[in-house]
Structure 1
Amino acid sequence: MTTNDDFGNIPKLEIVDMHFSYSPFDEVLSNLSLKVEDKEFVSVIGDSGAGKTTLFRAINGLEKVNEGYIRLDGYLQSSSFFHIPAEKRSIGTIFQDYALFPHLNVEKNIKYALKDSNFDKKFYENILDLLRVEGLLDRYIDELSGGQKQRIALARSLVRKPKLLLMDEPFSNLDRNLRVKIRRELKQIFKDIGSTVLLITHDSEEALSLSDKVGFLYAGEIIQFSTPQKIYESPDHSIIAKSISNSNVIFGEVSNNKVITFIGEFILDEIIDENSKVYINVKPNQLSINKEEDNFIIKDKEFLEGSQLYIISDIDSGIELNVKMPNSCDYQIGQNVGIEIINKEVNKLLE
């Protein structure tokens, strides 16, 4: 008998060279590849218009792909010549717009796809308790708030113990306290039930805190796929650096493996040819501002959970930089300041 072991480990979800377009002149996903291993939590993040929702719909079978293929447990789900409809795919889905049945009460919505063979009463009750929906079971969907509807949709998918759970912005309507609580506990629940999870989201904090791997979707293509720490500390592209950590993308020239920039020298984490022109990733907490110089002006500032993010502008060039400082620092908008480098280690970016 032939088993999966005979061919090595088969990914739970595998997407290879996928293309999708709504019209011949409107390609939304281009040459997209993604691999999710069994029992792995993977997130795909990206800005609005990057193709996140289209990717979600292609994976769960709501859209037919033009090229490439999608496999689940090694079995073909979608290609240019083959398509399994959504209702026949072994995928649990949580939609951003809930997709709940208004004519059924909450309890019947949650139990809708459950059968006696896959009903685990203790697990079912644990999910209801975690999501705080026990008191809502007799209500109908039009009697619920947006956050309550999202919690019901999440409960409906989780109680089935799906092998692949596909989620599109599932926490967007939850209040912050509940969102943080669920985020802290969900990964252990998914591990306990042996689920593989793919989360589609614009929230980088959410993705980084939950995931084993994170893919960044830009212009219809995954441009980096790595661990949360790697994608945060050493992003490959300037768009990722700016989106995830408010990083500064600074141009410079390599000299003796240092990068000479308009604000000073930085040290690269790799060997680069002498005199090369590069862009580097400088995080806001690698810089500091002072009152000893006055070649920058503070354009704006934001309070960020105990810190201040200052947006400062070089008076001569107009180049803006983000600088993160302790909240105890009292600099004002319009004030002239200087800048200093407090951590010189950087990585090179693809522009």
Structure 2
Amino acid sequence: MAHPVVDGAAGGLVVTGLGKSFGRHRVLDDVGLTVPPRSITAVLGPSGCGKTTMLRIVAGFETADAGQVRLAGRELVGPRTRVAPQDRRIGLLPQEGALFPHLTVGGNVGFGLPPGPERASAVDRWLDIVGLAGTAGRRPEELSGGMQQRVALARALAADPALILLDEPFSSLDAALRMTVREEIAWVLRDAGTTAVLVTHDQAEALSLADTVVLLLGGRVEQAGPPAELYHRPVSLAAAAFVGEIVELAGDARGGVVSSALGRLPVRLPVPDGPVTIALRPEQVRLAAPGTGDRPEVTAQVVEHRYYGPDTVIRARLASGELVAVRAPGFAPRRPGETITLAVDGDVLAYPELSRAGE
């Protein structure tokens, strides 16, 4: 199968046909991706899918069995080429930031800069860019985890890389801080015009930060494209299930419409007639008042509910015995066994049975 590639990346990063095995285990299989200059691409996938191995090959810390890596038109990896990591002009922001504890903040940022009178001003400029002006004399342990990540970003950017790689850089932060720091770092990268690749297993992180998302499943590129395309038009059931939550139901497709326990529903993407697995996003299924004319309108029995603050997720059993999740705004408790009426908004995804690609 030819790997999907995002169009247009003159001057950016182009990876083609990348392959890597460890013993008999194939980690990467014909992986390709294109990162346009001054953009952020997220490589998304579960643990063990090969995304960190791919990042290490691009950085030069791991060798490839096959394939090519080009950056700004220059071949870094090829059949007869392997440029040393220090000569690639690639910066790396690892999970923990990896600051030198024996150096000040300023010493960390200026570590890779040539000595001279301009070094101090460059350090101050980058600290100002990442929102840490005035911290040059402090020690890393005096800073919060989010501030340390921004120092690490300043250090990486100060070396003027052609590309920066971010390896799960927010995973060690608590949930509230993670959201704030990742948005700040994305803003800095865009403001600096930096070409960046973010490796993550967090779907929300990939969808909210990146211009392009590359979904890696089982060592292969399952799908690549804009975030909204991966969420609303996933090419397989595996892609739909990983990029966000889905409710799976059995159905039968005929002429662009599927029949299911939730009624007859229009299909978003073409699917052959016959048995299918239907995939709905939880936000498509909602509570409805009986007799209001919503179509389809079906009843279900409440199994449980979970309150998450902004919304309540209600799990209910349909007449078919299948379970469905419903998101209701705010605090909307329902008693187990209570009968509720459901309606479905919009069209649905449907995939031929046994077509869960990538597994």
TM tier relative to shorter chain = 0.7 to 0.9
The structural deviation recorded for 1:279 is 2.6
The structural deviation recorded for 1:14 is 1.0
Match of 1:322 in 2: 325
**TM-score (norm: length of structure 2):** 0.82
User: How far apart in 1 are the matches of 2:28 and 2:37?
Assistant: 24
The structural deviation recorded for 1:80 is 4.9
- The residue identity in structure 2 corresponding to 1:312 is A
Match of 2:275 in 1: 277
User: How far apart in 1 are the matches of 2:179 and 2:33?
Assistant: 27
- Matches of residues 1-351 of structure 1 in structure 2 within 5 Å? 10-23=10-23, 25-115=24-114, 124-125=123-124, 127-129=126-128, 131-134=130-133, 136-141=135-140, 144-174=143-173, 179-273=178-272, 275-289=273-287, 295-303=300-308, 305-314=309-318, 317=321, 319-332=322-335, 334-349=336-351, 350-351=355-356
User: How far apart in 1 are the matches of 2:262 and 2:244?
Assistant: 20
Q: What is the percent sequence identity of the aligned residues?
A: 28
**Native 8 Å contact 1:150 1:173 kept in 2:** no
Question: 1:307-343 CA distances to partner (integer Å, 9 max, x unpaired)?
Answer: 11223344753x33222111242214x3343452331
Computed over aligned residues only, the root mean square deviation of the Cα atoms, in angstroms, reads: 3.0
Question: 1:220-241 CA distances to partner (integer Å, 9 max, x unpaired)?
Answer: 1110101011111222222332
Q: Summarize the Cα distance change of 1:193–1:295 in structure 2 as closer, same or farther, 3 Å threshold.
A: closer
Match of 1:4 in 2: none
User: How far apart in 1 are the matches of 2:138 and 2:333?
Assistant: 51
**Native 8 Å contact 2:302 2:334 kept in 1:** no
**Native 8 Å contact 2:109 2:123 kept in 1:** no
SS in 2 for 1:345: coil
User: How far apart in 2 are the matches of 1:73 and 1:279?
Assistant: 43
Which deviates the most, 334-343 or 14-23?
334-343
The structural deviation recorded for 1:219 is 0.9
The structural deviation recorded for 1:248 is 1.5
**Native 8 Å contact 1:147 1:175 kept in 2:** no
Q: Summarize the Cα distance change of 1:130–1:73 in structure 2 as closer, same or farther, 3 Å threshold.
A: closer
Which deviates the most, 140-149 or 58-67?
140-149
**Native 8 Å contact 2:130 2:188 kept in 1:** no
Which deviates the most, 29-38 or 115-124?
115-124
Q: Summarize the Cα distance change of 1:152–1:247 in structure 2 as closer, same or farther, 3 Å threshold.
A: same
Which deviates the most, 320-329 or 84-93?
320-329
Which deviates the most, 71-80 or 118-127?
118-127
SS in 2 for 1:50: coil
**Native 8 Å contact 1:263 1:339 kept in 2:** no
Q: Summarize the Cα distance change of 1:131–1:11 in structure 2 as closer, same or farther, 3 Å threshold.
A: closer
**TM-score (norm: length of structure 1):** 0.84
Question: 1:94-133 CA distances to partner (integer Å, 9 max, x unpaired)?
Answer: 1113232233222111111123799697775464246454
Q: Summarize the Cα distance change of 1:345–1:228 in structure 2 as closer, same or farther, 3 Å threshold.
A: same
**Native 8 Å contact 1:66 1:79 kept in 2:** no
**Native 8 Å contact 2:106 2:136 kept in 1:** yes
Number of residue pairs matched by the alignment = 339
List gaps (5 residues or longer) in structure 1.
1-7
List gaps (5 residues or longer) in structure 2.
1-7, 291-297
Q: Summarize the Cα distance change of 1:120–1:346 in structure 2 as closer, same or farther, 3 Å threshold.
A: farther
- The residue identity in structure 1 corresponding to 2:276 is V
The structural deviation recorded for 1:34 is 0.7
The structural deviation recorded for 1:172 is 2.9
